[in-house]
Amino acid sequence: MTLAVSTVRTAGTQGYHLPLAIRLVQEWLGRGLDIALMLSGGLLLTLAWIQARPRRGEPAHSALRQSLLTAVAWSLPLVVGLPFGSTDAHAYLDQGWQLAHGMNPYRVGLGTDGGPLAAYVDPTWVGTTTVYPPLSLRWSQLAVWVGQEHPYGSIVALHVLDLIVLLIGGWALARLAADIGRDVRTALWWYLNPLTILAGIAGLHHEVLMTTLVLVGLMLARTRYGLVTGTAVVAVATAVKQPAVLVLPALVLASVPAVEAARGGVRLWGRIAARAGVAAVSLVATFLAMTAAAGLGSGWIHALRVPGSVLSLSPTALLGDVAGFLSRLHGHPLPEGAANGPVARVLVPVVALGLIVMIARLAPHGWPTLAWVGPLAFALASPTLWPWYLIPIPVMFGLERLSPDGVRRRIAFVVAVAFVQLVIEETDFQLYGSLAMALALAAATLLYTRRHPALARSLAAGPQGPVRSVEWARHPSDPQEAESMSRLSRDQIRTMMAEVLANQGKTLPADDTAALDAIGFRSLDFSELALSVEDELGTELNFDAPGLRSITTVSDVLDFIEQLQDA
């Protein structure tokens, strides 16, 4: 509520035709008070997020419903507020108004159409054409239509549409997390982080729509024909915001059946390459079809240089700015932005090579991490970067198996980026100061979570399944314990198998002759169980065995893993 009130200012809203209640608030809301409300609101939101984290032992059956209700409770006050953290929403809605009146935003400059929101477009972008793909423009047009072309009504409509999309994304994430054996409560907690609320719902950035479509695509990728259908949905996400395309490597790996992934070898890489080819064709075909259906052309390509024309948080822009400062210091000033090109020519190949290395390291099981590494690579290599570009990243944290240290680092990341989103406009886009404060806050968060280890432990992978991080894997110091862990008993394996099923609300029957199909134990569940065994033993198992194809009952699973331990 305090955040929503802080967005209501007199400056720049005279033509909004705001409701009487909001105009009354504007009468007493001074500049100092709105900043106080903004900072306190951001702090309260972050504390509420930390407090809402799942605890071990809490019932998980209503996790989705509770999380969606929390999302509504946190977002509803913001729905009636004005755009927060940037004025980009005015540009979005101006583009939507252009479309509603037969104009093409790829040809008509922002703020030059005489529309009701043209006067609120940031002067930096007035006269420029849009860089966004066609579905993003149609989404803005929908908001303008729902808001009946009223400035304030269109903003509220976009708030409501984004909230609906956020709830759909939560549903898709819950299904995806359950499908891969992750704790649904933890996944949804990461999903409803302060950055998503501040930049997505309050800030009205289209990354919320893009992220939801990506989650639906990854969810579909786990189904029988998911490689094609999932890729098609990611193509739709790319037609909203271009960075969605870099989730494609993760989607390809997510579509690989667990039994195939467990075998490894050259044949696996061949199948991954074939799947990548199919996915690429599906994505390109769907994107071209979406572009043709939108009827606007591909004019966004010609505007790709526009966002990079201003200084932002992009490493390219910041390093170029530092190079320009040093050149002026030595009496040889460079034209503004002249150093950005050479910096980009060095940075982009380095980031691209790093992404390729990460794909090779994370394949085939580490696709949840790869799902956020791709968007992060785009952000690092992009000529422009703002906090809302990073919305998809913490959403994927809930699909990973994290150590306590991994949890701490990721919480610090979320808090720091959300803080930049909170203050970036109020500091008049003073980038270096905002970054310095964010880094200090991240360090303080790391220190706090280290001194309160229970917080990170409650979110780290525990009984739900394996932990792939070295620092959290069990390494017994007692030789007798180490010897006992060198082999798991049949009962221990059975207990771990029961835990894999329990995470999905299923029960392992007492009869070991029960068919796997009958109890819903799929190939992915077998991979989950095998990884749990590997982490418990502290060693890798050899899955390159013919017996893998003949597993049909609970007893077959137990026998096979016992044989692997003896191999």
- pLDDT tens profile 384-440: 899 999 999 999 999 998 888 999 999 999 999 999 998 887 666 578 888 888 999
**Sequence-separated (6 or more) residues with CB below 8 Å from residue 339:** 319, 320, 321, 323, 324, 327
What letters, b where the CB count within 10 A reaches 16 and e where it falls short, cover 23-47? Answer: eebeeebeeeebeebbbebbeebbe
Are the C-beta atoms of residues 27 and 96 closer than 8 Å to each other?
no
User: Measured between alpha carbons, how far is 409 from 420 in angstroms, rounded to an integer?
Assistant: 17
Q: Are residues 90 and 199 in the same domain?
A: yes
Q: What is the pLDDT of residue 469?
A: 28
Which of 401, 436, 458 terminates a domain? The answer is: 401
pLDDT band at 476 (very low <50, low <70, confident <90, very high): very low
Highest mean pLDDT pick, 112-121, 177-186, 272-281, 423-432: 272-281
Flag whether 116 is in a domain: yes
pLDDT at 337 over 70: no
Beta strand residue intervals within 301-364, DSSP E: none
409 lies in a domain?
A: no
- On whether both 385 and 501 belong to a single domain, the answer is no
Rounded-to-integer distance, Cα 375 and Cα 393, Å: 7
Closest C-alpha to 193, from 5, 52, 400, 82: 52
Instruction: Please name which of 189, 178, 163 lies closest in space to residue 61, comparing C-alpha atoms.
Output: 178
Residue 435, domain member (yes or no)? no
Regarding whether 205 and 330 lie in a shared domain, the answer is: yes
**CA-angle at 218, arms to 216 and 219, nearest 5°:** 60
Instruction: Say if residues 110 and 214 touch (Cβ distance below 8 Å).
Output: no
> Which candidate, 309, 280, 310, 293, places its Cα nearest to that of 424?
310
b (16+ CB within 10 A) / e for 495-513: ebbbbbbebeeeebeeeee
- Percent of the chain at pLDDT exceeding 90: 42
Q: Which of the four pLDDT bands, split at 50, 70 and 90, describes residue 21?
A: low
Beta bridge partners of 515: 553
Same domain, 115 and 258: yes
The answer on pLDDT for 95 being more than 90 is yes
282 in a structural domain: yes
**The pLDDT of residue 475 is above 60:** no
Structure confidence at residue 106 (pLDDT): 95
Place of tokens 């720049």: 12
The vertex-159 CA angle with 156 and 161, nearest 5°, equals 110
Are both 396 and 510 inside the same structural domain?
no
Is 457 contained in some domain? no
Give the pLDDT confidence score for residue 423 in this predicted structure.
85
User: Which residues does 517 contact at the CB level (< 8 Å), separation at least 6?
Assistant: 552
DSSP H or E segment with residue 442: helix 431-451
Q: Are 364 and 374 in contact (CB under 8 A)?
A: no
Terminal Cα distance for the chain, rounded: 61
Least confident of 89-98, 99-108, 377-386: 377-386
Residues 6+ apart with CB under 8 A from 369: 358, 362, 396, 400
The pLDDT > 70 percentage for the chain reads 83
Tell me how many domains the chain contains. 2
Domain harbouring 531, CATH code:
1.10.1200.10
Are both 107 and 201 inside the same structural domain? yes
Is pLDDT of 49 > 90? Answer: yes
**Statement to judge: residues 519 and 379 lie in one domain:** no
pLDDT > 60? residue 29:
no
Q: Are residues 376 and 496 in the same domain?
A: no
Q: How far is it, in rounded angstroms, from Cα 495 to Cα 493?
A: 5
pLDDT in tens, 543-556: 554 556 578 888 88
Question: Which segment of 110-114, 462-466, 519-523 scores lowest on mean pLDDT?
Answer: 462-466
Give the mean model confidence (pLDDT) for residues 73-85: 88
Cα 416 from Cα 11, distance rounded (Å): 28
pLDDT at 483 over 60: no
HSE-up of 185 (CA within 13 Å, CB side)? 19
Residue 362 pLDDT level (bands cut at 50, 70, 90): confident
| pTM score of the predicted model | 0.80
Q: Write out the two tokens for 522.
A: 């799929």
Of 401, 421, 440, the last residue of a domain is 401
Q: Is residue 181 part of a domain?
A: yes
For 209, other C-beta atoms within 10 Å of its C-beta total 25
pLDDT class for 212, splitting at 50, 70, 90? Answer: very high
> What is the reported pLDDT for 105?
95
Q: Which of 118-122, 417-421, 506-510, 539-543 is predicted most confidently?
A: 417-421
Which pLDDT tens digit goes with each residue over 55-73?
765 666 678 888 999 999 9
Task: Tell me the average pLDDT of the chain.
Answer: 83
Q: Is residue 285 assigned to a domain?
A: yes
Provide the Cα torsion 397, 401, 407, 412; round to 10°: -30
* Cα separation values, 545 from 116, 267, 272, 536, 565, Å: 68, 14, 20, 21, 13
Residue 12 in any domain: the answer is no
What span, in angstroms and rounded, lies between the C-alpha atoms of 375 and 252? 15
Show the domain range for 492.
Answer: 486-566
Q: Per-residue pLDDT averaged across 215-234, rounded? A: 93
Q: Domain check: are 395 and 535 in the same one?
A: no
Asked whether residue 348 falls in the same domain as residue 492, the answer is no
User: Can you read off the two tokens belonging to residue 308?
Assistant: 């990079």
Considering the domain architecture, whether residues 154 and 289 belong to the same structural domain is answered as: yes
Question: Of 345, 380, 401, which residue sits at a domain end?
Answer: 401
How many whole angstroms separate alpha carbon 303 and alpha carbon 417? 27
Bridge-partner residues for 553, per DSSP? 515
Mean local confidence (pLDDT), 489-501: 85
Instruction: Tell me: cis bond preceding 123? Omega within 30 of 0 counts.
Output: no
